[in-house]
Amino acid sequence: MKKNRTNISRVIARNVAEILTIGLVAFFIAPLILVLLNASKTNSQIITNALSLPTNWNTLIKNVVTIWNNPNLRYPQALISSTIVTFFSLSGITIFSAMAAWVLLRTRTKLSSAIFMMFVAAMVIPFQVVMFPLVKWFGVFSKFTGIPMLRSYFGIIVAYIGFGSSMSIFMFHGFMKSIPHEIEEAAYVDGCGKIKTFFYIVLPILKPIYVTILILNGIWIWNDFLLPMLVLGKGTPVQTLPLAVNNFAGAFLVSWDLMMTAILMALVPVVIFFLAAQKHIIKGMVEGSVK
Amino acid sequence: MKKPHNIFKKDPNRGLERDLRNQKLIFWLFLFPALFSFFMVQIIPFAIGIYYSFTNWSATAQLSIDWVGMKNYIESFKDFRFLYSTMITTIYTVLNIISVNVVAFFLAMLDTSKLKGRNIYRAGFFLPNIIGGIILGYIWQFIFNQFIPKAAAAIGFSYFSTHLMLGDVKTAVLAMVIVSTWQYAGYIMMIYVAALQNVPADLLEAAQIDGANAWHRFKNITIPMVMPAFTITMFMTLVNSFKQFDVNVSLTGGGPSTTFMGIAIKGTTLLAMHINETSSIYLNTAQARAKAIVFFLVIVSFSLLQVTLTKRKEVEL
């Protein structure tokens, strides 16, 4: 009897928890649904009643077309720029950080641990501390070397690799510690050179951690606002999506229907990516945070 | 019998030397790309920033940049706007750490209680975290300015239909806490979920058999076992709250206005934003550097203090 009763109360408790959680999830996604609903209305409809459901979904298509062709936002260009910046920055961060972390871990000298500590310590440097000197330094560097650092893809990609390397090296380093040294030694004894050992033996083992690193850095880079604003500048040919939306908001903040549509269109790539790679993202985050 | 002997004798010194030289070359070769970009964007600008904080560098045109010693630091601490920002940032940070961690831990407890749709729920909670601060701030500006007043009017809650949350300093800070909790709780939740899953089920069961109730099991097993996760989450929320900028810009823009020590001030200007404005609005670039260095030192000491305090409470199984 007693056992039966505890079972029933447990089932009830579980169902209550289930319903509560569903409610909370709804609360968490509600703001995004609100964006979709209000992007499907005209501005006067929003002003008179922000709560109402859209009456005509064609308004959404009309708004999307307006935003797509908007000369302040330049959505298609911004989408391409964001993709290029994110892709090359991520490739750089992952490969270069893995390489650096590996030699820093496998070379046991005071110098290597000092360099590693420097990378890790830099994680606490707030961006505000370095941002203006960074722009000035990039300007000076360009003047002397002729390599364009400001308003260029190259400059912002180098910047992202530099800022992303701290955390990535820290994470790779932590993960590599768990790889038995014997695997590499075996490869080395079999005549595999150091470079080959790294690319053929170590890199493949790192897969779980570089999925995490790609995701963590990818989300940050795709959404970042301040660094592109400083390095690329507003209204220049290379504009990432957050910059573009901000340019647009400056001009159109009163027009809520178009603002909501712009937000919606900025959200779409992220949400699609999230839904497609959701399992990897969440698994990656779990593994990444524990390391 | 002769062969192995020969192998061992084969010029051991020269091989070793070449190996070491190779190793050094590979060390620097592998390190170079990361180290180069790291120096380009962190170390060199950091050093330049420290140097400029002791000069009279300004955003306006000037003939020479002169060394002025501690002047910028002293003036920073005489600046009421800076003091106010420090205060409001501290308040925001404390509220945010509590709010994010309580919500995240609660969600994690729910999520690990063997719910059917837990993967879908996780995705739902996590989703806000992948949206950028700028975009997110605009979404919530819409909610606070358009949606809440109308929703409040519809259900007859007249206070919020006439008072905009972003129109008053106290509620505007609260609004920022709500937005950052919404953004961050799902991520912090995942760290707690990982930690909670590492709590050995047989340990909990053994305690249950020994007669420990749910609260005791929670207090004496779960909490100590997830302490390492607390170190991580506290550190992350602390640093992130203190550095908050994006949501500040797009949600409140630093406003609304209020008065502090007799001067008009923008009520929700957090430190990061204040440092920006010192240089972009007040054009005092060198003083902005000094404030940034102070900001940096505060973050470092906070984090060190926090990590040592929490580390002490960790247990190893």
Look up the CATH number of the domain holding residue A99. 1.10.3720.10
Q: What angle do CA A247, A248, A253 make, to 5 degrees?
A: 120
Our measurement of the distance from residue B70's CA atom to the centroid of its chain's CA atoms, rounded to an integer in Å, reads: 29
Chain A residue closest in CA terms to B303: A124
Largest CA distance in chain A: 85
- Classified as helix, coil or strand, B263 is strand
**pLDDT tens-digit readout, B288-300:** 889 999 988 988 8
Within-domain flag for A211: yes
Q: For residues A129 and A256, state if they share a domain.
A: yes
A122:B113 CB<8 A: no
Smallest Cβ distance to A133: which of B45, B123, B147?
A: B45
Q: For residues A106 and A131, state if they share a domain.
A: yes
Is the whole-model pTM more than 0.80?
yes
B123:A274 CB<8 A: yes
Per-residue pLDDT band for B70 (boundaries 50, 70, 90) equals confident
Contact B144, B164 (CB under 8 A): yes
Q: For residues A140 and A108, state if they share a domain.
A: yes
Which chain B residues are within 8 Å of A118, Cβ to Cβ? 43
Best mean pLDDT range from A274-278, B145-149, B180-184, B245-249:
B180-184
Q: According to the model, what pLDDT value does residue B302 have? A: 80
Q: According to the model, what pLDDT value does residue B97 have? A: 94
B42:A158 CB<8 A: no
Q: For residues A91 and A151, state if they share a domain.
A: yes
Domain range spanning residue A16?
2-59
Q: According to the model, what pLDDT value does residue B90 have? A: 92
Q: According to the model, what pLDDT value does residue A124 have? A: 78
Q: Which residue is it, tokens 């955003």? A: B59
B45:A24 CB<8 A: no
- Classified as helix, coil or strand, A125 is coil
A245:B138 CB<8 A: yes
Tell which of A59, A87, A102 closes a domain: A59
Write the DSSP symbol of residue A53. Answer: P
Amino acid at A162: G
Which chain A residues are within 8 Å of B250, Cβ to Cβ? 246, 249
Q: For residues A107 and A23, state if they share a domain.
A: no
Smallest Cβ distance to B127: which of A28, A100, A259?
A: A28
Which chain B residues are within 8 Å of A285, Cβ to Cβ? 126, 187, 190
Q: According to the model, what pLDDT value does residue A3 have? A: 56
Q: According to the model, what pLDDT value does residue B311 have? A: 66
Contact A256, A38 (CB under 8 A): yes
B40:A137 CB<8 A: yes
Considering only residues A17 and B317, tell me which one the structure prediction assigns the higher pLDDT. Answer: A17
Considering only residues A160 and B274, tell me which one the structure prediction assigns the higher pLDDT. Answer: A160
**Tokens linked to B188:** 């912090």
Q: For residues A261 and A174, state if they share a domain.
A: yes
Q: According to the model, what pLDDT value does residue B35 have? A: 95
Is the pLDDT reported for residue B119 higher than 70?
A: yes
Within-domain flag for A163: yes
Is the pLDDT reported for residue B98 higher than 60?
A: yes
Q: According to the model, what pLDDT value does residue B60 have? A: 67
Q: According to the model, what pLDDT value does residue B101 have? A: 94
pLDDT per position in chain A (291 positions), as tens? 455 666 787 788 778 888 888 888 888 888 888 888 888 888 888 877 777 788 888 888 888 998 898 888 889 999 999 999 999 999 999 999 999 999 999 888 899 989 999 998 888 788 888 888 899 899 989 999 988 888 899 999 999 999 999 989 988 988 888 888 888 888 877 877 788 888 888 888 888 788 888 888 888 899 898 899 889 988 788 899 988 888 888 776 668 888 889 899 988 988 888 888 887 777 766 665 554
**Tokens linked to A151:** 């308003």
A103:B30 CB<8 A: yes
Write the DSSP symbol of residue B165. Answer: G
Considering only residues A270 and B114, tell me which one the structure prediction assigns the higher pLDDT. Answer: A270
What distance in Å separates residue A172's CA from the closest CA in chain B? Answer: 13
Mean pLDDT of B227-245: 84
Q: For residues A152 and A281, state if they share a domain.
A: yes
Within-domain flag for A53: yes
B132:A134 CB<8 A: no
What distance in Å separates residue B186's CA from the closest CA in chain A? Answer: 9
Smallest Cβ distance to B45: which of A18, A25, A137?
A: A137
If one counts the domains in chain A, the total is 2
Chain B residue closest in CA terms to A23: B121
Q: For residues A32 and A95, state if they share a domain.
A: no
Within-domain flag for A65: no
Amino acid at B179: V
What distance in Å separates residue B258's CA from the closest CA in chain A? Answer: 24
Q: According to the model, what pLDDT value does residue B175 have? A: 92
Per-residue pLDDT band for B178 (boundaries 50, 70, 90) equals very high
Q: Each residue of B171-200: b (16+ CB within 10 Å) or e? A: bbbebbbbbbbbbbbbbbbbbbbbbbeebe
**Tokens linked to A131:** 């941002």
Chain A residue closest in CA terms to B115: A18
Within-domain flag for A70: no
What distance in Å separates residue A170's CA from the closest CA in chain B? Answer: 12
Q: For residues A119 and A26, state if they share a domain.
A: no
**pLDDT tens-digit readout, B12-66:** 455 666 677 778 888 899 999 999 999 999 999 999 889 888 988 776 666 677 7
Q: According to the model, what pLDDT value does residue A5 have? A: 62
Q: For residues A155 and A55, state if they share a domain.
A: no
Average pLDDT taken over every residue of chain B: 82
Within-domain flag for A66: no
Q: According to the model, what pLDDT value does residue B38 have? A: 95
Q: According to the model, what pLDDT value does residue A159 have? A: 95
Q: Which residue is it, tokens 């972009």? A: B280
Q: For residues A24 and A106, state if they share a domain.
A: no
Within-domain flag for A251: yes
Within-domain flag for A188: yes
Which chain B residues are within 8 Å of A20, Cβ to Cβ? 110
Burial (CB < 10 A; 0-12, 13-18, 19+), residue A277, is middle
Q: For residues A179 and A216, state if they share a domain.
A: yes
Terminal Cα distance for chain A, rounded: 46
Q: According to the model, what pLDDT value does residue A97 have? A: 94
